[in-house]
């Protein structure tokens, strides 16, 4: 049976990944940090794991909970936005730590734990980045803290890709998606975004030469870093 792990699946994009993979009959390990989030995942017949990516004691249980599992797909989706700012707005240490801890340090702590399970299946390891993390495509400095965090995520993906022997690693931009984070004026619904990213993840191992260590839009087009 095909198996996926979704890190950060209580709502939004992560939750929709669980719904779609379950609909297709996959076994899905999915994480949430609240009891309500865990209950909702169990209702979808996912294997619900309690995980807060900013809590080290919570991360340490991940490896034994996945013992013996081979992951066709793993997705680091957990993420937070920064306050919406314009220009070079002052950033407090607390704001910086919150955003970088979740988006970057979380990914750097989860990746080494999860990679062996993706390697075992020759699967795909996807990381939710953002077009706002692209340095080449930066035309605005709005929300510069969030932008910096996603640029750092892109670097993390390349570093993980250099480590992976069989797994294929990709950074993905989900589009501007109608979720709590994206807001109701966003361009696309969560179903469209996740359907597109699942196609990217599915195609990646077969096209490892081009996809490994790459940055992809949800519609399959490559993005520049
Ligand atoms: N929506 C967009 O337009 C858009 C665009 C570009 C990139 N992205 C990226 O796509 C990913 C998902 O975004 P979304 O729109 O679905 O956001 P969302 O609706 O705000 O959901 C964020 C998810 O991350 C989880 N999370 C946050 N902090 C966590 C922590 N410390 N430990 C574990 N889980 C944590 C949340 O769990 P809780 O419910 O427990 O808070 C929730 O499940 C993010 O990485 C985001 O940066 C989104």
pLDDT digits 0-9 by tens, 101-112:
999 999 999 999
Nearest CA-CA partner of 58 in 17, 16, 101, 23:
101
Interval between CA 215 and ligand 1 midpoint (Å): 19
Distance CA 169, CA 74 (A): 10
Query: Ligand 1 centroid to 12 CA: how many Å?
Result: 7
For residue 182 and ligand 1, the question of a CB distance below 6 A is answered with: yes
* Pocket lining: 143 vs ligand 1, CB cutoff 6 Å: no
CA atoms of 15 and 118, how far apart (whole Å):
20
80 C-alpha to center of ligand 1: Å?
5
CATH number listed for the domain at residues 3-216: 3.40.50.720
Q: Does the pLDDT at position 86 exceed 90?
A: yes
Average pLDDT over residues 101-130: 98
Of all protein residues, the one whose alpha carbon is nearest to atom 8 of ligand 1 is 130
Residues 6 or more apart from 221 whose CB is under 8 A from it? none
Query: Mean pLDDT, the chain, as a whole number?
Result: 97
Residue range 189-206, pLDDT digits in tens: 999 999 999 999 999 999
For residues 107-121, average pLDDT: 98
pTM, rounded to two decimals: 0.98
């Amino acid at each position: 049976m095909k198996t996926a792990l979704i890190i950060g699946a209580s709502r939004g994009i992560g939750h929709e990944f669980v719904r779609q993979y379950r609909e297709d009959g996959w076994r899905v390990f999915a994480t949430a940090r609240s009891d309500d989030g865990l209950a909702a995942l169990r209702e979808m017949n996912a294997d619900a794991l309690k995980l807060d990516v900013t809590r080290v004691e919570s991360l340490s249980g991940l490896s034994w909970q996945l013992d013996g599992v081979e992951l066709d797909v793993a997705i680091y989706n957990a993420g937070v936005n920064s306050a919406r700012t314009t220009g070079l707005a002052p950033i407090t240490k607390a704001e910086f730590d919150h955003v970088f801890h979740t988006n970057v340090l979380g990914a750097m702590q989860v990746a080494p734990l999860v990679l062996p399970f993706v390697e075992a299946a020759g699967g795909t390891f996807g990381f939710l980045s953002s077009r706002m993390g692209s340095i080449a495509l930066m035309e605005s400095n709005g929300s510069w803290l969030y932008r910096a965090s996603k640029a750092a995520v892109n670097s993390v993906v390349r570093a993980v890709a250099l480590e992976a022997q069989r797994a294929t690693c990709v950074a993905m931009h989900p589009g501007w998606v109608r979720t709590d984070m994206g807001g109701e004026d966003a361009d696309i619904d969560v179903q469209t975004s996740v359907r597109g990213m699942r196609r990217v993840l599915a195609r990646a191992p077969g096209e490892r030469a081009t996809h490994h260590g790459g940055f992809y839009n949800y519609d399959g087009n490559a993005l520049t870093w």
